[in-house]
A = this chain, B = another copy of it.
């Protein structure tokens, strides 16, 4: 099969990086065919930087309808992901979008519907799914080594951003510009991994998002979230952009022991017999199951995760390889994020799946009064 001709939309950090590794031939079966960039200076830079085989566009519509590409990689500000993706599907293209796929689940549902109609491949850049730590955790859960999941606790507060970061763009930290704070911009990978690693979504969420607590922003910079699962398990996720040095510690407790990921290491306290079985049979008032502390070996990650995810996308198009993160799954982490906002706004438990229209009405109210104003074409 011939190479996938890829168009990169948005030449910021991620778009430029991706264009560069495509040009270097690092993705087998794919080639950089076009780039699209709305800022003239940046497009001019691209014309000088990329070979003539790469067509430059200043209009997304022109690129999508040019016939010169088979697929797009979307690396624009995230608010624009859904409209671009849906239009690309209408043009019969395959789509790989940066995370988050959208700002609210209703958008992502529409993206998936458009992909289904087009029958093309829809992938999400959840490149953290390629990390050996999280792949291994998921494998241990799915293979039953941990037993039924009982409780999770993920403290991921190492997303430090000073005020100068938020001040670097007028859209930053605003409802109209970003549609959320740490949940949308910094922690989407963890939100995705939180459900992917244990292979289940919560039944309901109770969260406290703190808006503009440590920074002069409209959106949340600290979140404390509870989750309850159908099987009785509970979970917490704590994230913040205001703490330094921060913590990244993920604890998962199952019927067969406890697993902790911290500092890039994975430790499994493995029970010789499942707790539930021990509990049924033990006659001693204070004894506990025999427990082995096991250091779990992790394979080395051969290549960068971003590159691996793009490779997987190309393989999915060419040979039907299953996607690492199919579009249908983009909704899951976003559902968690939306539920955390909604729980805070309503000061109540939020059942999943959430009421998408209720969420959207709350969000739109905040976007209307946001200090960031969008121009007609959606950009600043």
Contact = CB atoms under 8 A, between A and B. Distances in A.
Given A224-B226, A245-B258, A245-B269, A162 B287 contact: yes
A342 to B, nearest CB: 16
A291 interface: yes
Closest 4 pairs (CB-CB, A-B): A165-B285, A244-B288, A162-B282, A245-B291
A288 B160 contact: yes
A236 B160 CA distance: 20
Contacts of A228: 208
Nearest to A223: B234
Oligomeric state, in copies? 2
A213 B232 contact: yes
B284 A164 contact: yes
Interface in A194-231: 206, 208, 210, 213-215, 222, 224, 226, 228
A228 B208 CA distance: 10
A285 B243 contact: no
Interface in A276-321: 278-280, 282-289, 291
A253 B155 CA distance: 12
A29 interface: no
Q: Is the interface of A mostly helix, strand, loop or mixed?
A: mixed
Contacts of A245: 257-258, 269, 271, 288, 291
A132 interface: no
Nearest to A225: B226
Contacts of A253: 157, 243
Interface string A179-190: 000000000000
A135 interface: no
Interface centre among A224, A246, A284 (most CB of B within 10 A): A224
A275 B278 CA distance: 47
Contact of A286 (B165, B234, B258): B165
A276 to B, nearest CB: 8
A151 interface: yes
A14 interface: no
Nearest to A289: B244
A16 interface: no
